[in-house]
Amino acid sequence: MLAGEQGEIAVSTFLLIPRLRPCRFSRKTFPVLELKDIRFAIQKGKDEVALLDQIDLRVPTGHFMAIVGPSGCGKSTLLKLIAGINQETSGSIFWNGRNLSEEGDLEASEIGYVPQFSIAYESLTVEENVEAAVRLRAETKNRKAFDRLVDQVLASTGLEALRDRPVKVLSGGQRRRLSLALELVTEPVLLLCDEVTSGLDPKSEQEIVELMHQLSRHEHRLVANVTHSLANLDLYDSVLVLDAGRVVYHGPPRALEHYFSVEKAEDVYPRLAKRKTEEWAESWAKHRDAYDDALPRRHASTPEASVSATTPGAAAQFLALFLRRWQLFFRDKGQIFLQLAILVIFPFLVVVFELDGVEQTRRLSESLPSNLAEYNAEREAMTFNLNLGGLVSGLVMFQVILLTLMGSNNSAREIAGERLIFEKEKLGGVRPLAYLSSKVAFLSVLVLLQSLWMTVFVQSICEIPSRSMLPHFLLLLLVNGAMTAICLGISSLSRTADQASLLSIYLVGFQLPLSGAVLALPDWAGWLTRPFISAYWSWSGIMDGMEKDYLRYIREVTDTWLGPMWLGFLVLLIHIVLGLFISYVGVKRPRWEN
């Protein structure tokens, strides 16, 4: 018997059982979610490859749907289309009669999307992660309402007893519960879960499915779960089966075996492989309406306005992100040790490498010779002063290069290291500008402390002969800020944190040879590379701010053109602005393909 013929028997039998008869509603009211002729294709070379094609689907509210199918059939792709992460090539998606393809996506608070990866910070506790999610995504009237929402979310996901436990010690099932909890803070009307039971033991998988089933009982909520597992299907209201990007079944789980002529649900995948996808899709098209009418529908009024939370403003999100970043910083003992080591060791390195010349910076002879003996003494003094000029130049360049290395260390992994979590939070309503501003505020504190300490420590020992220490400090501050901003931009564009770190190290490595401070470049090469070398402009500006006698000998020992101090300030500020602009472009750009 063909699957189509078996399907007719299955649906007829299904409709004759009174306890399974659905409450019938007009299609004008139900379903709430509707997909019409959806197609999603990507370009591979010269060819267009359809990952989803001819997707027609109607799902009511208060509903729990499983999306199943063989690996690579388009399950996660379909979920991302519904969530608004990907844009359909053609077709339309409707929610409560509103065409999302033309009228814009749902509000961020209306959608809860649980991806396959972890969306919680490992070093924070369960409660701290939920609190951060509330601050970022759900506006509350006062502290009492805030605490009540946190308690409610923890209770609904069974995490009350684990609220003080760090995420890094949670089991797989507990982490999945936390992922669901983070999405429930906004009371979403559409909860989309992507492989949340993947890798769990049977008991944990059943517990998570039961939890999602309970969450779907909310009268205005639709829960869709992508899963490869065909266990626990009896807990779902409907099962959507995809094969090679086409719908081949959407109906009650109890009719699944009859439709595909198999003894148990686990045999569906091998059964699919015995016929072409087009044949399965054609067979389904004949019986779709009968199965669609048989889906259970609950008595629920379709809300005219969203029942979901209001997304907090940009200022509130900035403060929440800024405070969370410091919370993460102080939880990371390794990062604290590294920053303290840098603050102590880097300035000390400057002094150690130039220790032999420290006393020399306190003496400078400028007497004119009156006889041969004085002439010989003056020639020795001239040689000494020329060496001293080279010493001061090298001392400052060493200072500058170490600050560029600090800048690279500050920000190379800052965005790339948490990119996937940020993408998820951005989908949930976190504004890219608020996120970037929180990073800039955090990094500014590090840059200020590093630059100030480097200046004070080195100057107190080496007594670098600047006319004024304020311009010297500001130029060091700007070069650190410039490299921090540029590496933050690299971090925002990189696919991985390791890639960002490697590119940033390369960038620092080019600073010394291309600055011309040690070995002068040919004029044409210097003018080509100089605009991009932050270290050059800081070093050059500081040299221009040296006391007159020192500057004379510095100019004698270097063939590199020394730009005026004001130009150094200007170029470094441009570098900072450019780095921040690249960072903003990077955080605005979706990176879900990671």
| Maximal CA-CA distance, the chain | 124
* β pairing state of 98-99 and 111-114: unpaired
Per the CB < 8 A criterion, the answer to whether 335 and 329 are in contact is: yes
* 459/133: higher pLDDT: 133
Place of tokens 């001819």: 54
Average pLDDT, the chain: 83
Place of tokens 């944990």: 204
In three-state secondary structure terms, 116 is coil
Domains along the sequence of the chain with CATH: 3-121+189-293 (3.40.50.300), 328-365+392-588 (no CATH)
Per the CB < 8 A criterion, the answer to whether 225 and 232 are in contact is: no
pLDDT at residue 517 is higher than 70: no
Cα–Cα dist 207/220, whole Å: 23
pLDDT, tens digit, for every residue of 181-205?
999 999 999 999 998 988 888 899 9
Reported pTM: 0.86
* 217/380: higher pLDDT: 217
Is the peptide bond preceding residue 166 cis, with omega within 30 degrees of 0? no
Length of the chain: 594
pLDDT of residue 295: 73
Could you tell me which of 76, 84, 93 has the C-alpha nearest to residue 39?
A: 93
Could you tell me which of 10, 563, 60 has the C-alpha nearest to residue 283?
A: 10
**Over the Cα atoms of the chain, what is R_g?**
32
* 407/523: higher pLDDT: 407
In three-state secondary structure terms, 301 is coil
Cα–Cα dist 545/547, whole Å: 7
3-state secondary structure 496-557: CHHHHHHHHHHHHHCHHHHHCCCCCCCHHHHHHHHHHCHHHHHHHHHHHCECHHHHHHHHHH
Helix axes 172-184, 202-215, angle to 10 degrees: 10
Band (493; pLDDT cuts 50, 70, 90)? very high
Per the CB < 8 A criterion, the answer to whether 80 and 86 are in contact is: yes
Dihedral sign (CA 490, 491, 492, 496):
positive
Per the CB < 8 A criterion, the answer to whether 544 and 471 are in contact is: no
Band (548; pLDDT cuts 50, 70, 90)? confident
Joined tokens for residue 489: 């931009």
Lowest-confidence pick of 247-261, 428-442, 482-496, 539-553: 539-553
* 389/404: higher pLDDT: 404
Could you tell me which of 66, 5, 80, 428 has the C-alpha nearest to residue 225?
A: 66
Average pLDDT over residues 348-354: 68
Taking CA atoms, 195 is separated from 115, 225, 419, in Å, by 7, 7, 20
pLDDT of residue 373: 52
Phi, psi (deg, nearest 5) at residue 348 = -65, -35
Average pLDDT over residues 498-506: 93
Taking CA atoms, 541 is separated from 234, 400, 538, 572, in Å, by 73, 11, 5, 10
pLDDT of residue 396: 82
In three-state secondary structure terms, 354 is coil
pLDDT at residue 26 is higher than 50: no
How many CA atoms does the CB half-sphere of 132 hold within 13 Å?
24
pLDDT of residue 555: 67
Cα angle: 110, vertex 295, 259; to 5 degrees: 125
Q: Which amino acid appears at position 570 of this protein?
A: L
pLDDT, tens digit, for every residue of 221-243?
899 999 988 888 999 999 999 99
Per the CB < 8 A criterion, the answer to whether 532 and 486 are in contact is: no
Place of tokens 């029942």: 307
**CA 128 from centroid of its chain's CA atoms:** 19
Cα–Cα dist 547/552, whole Å: 9
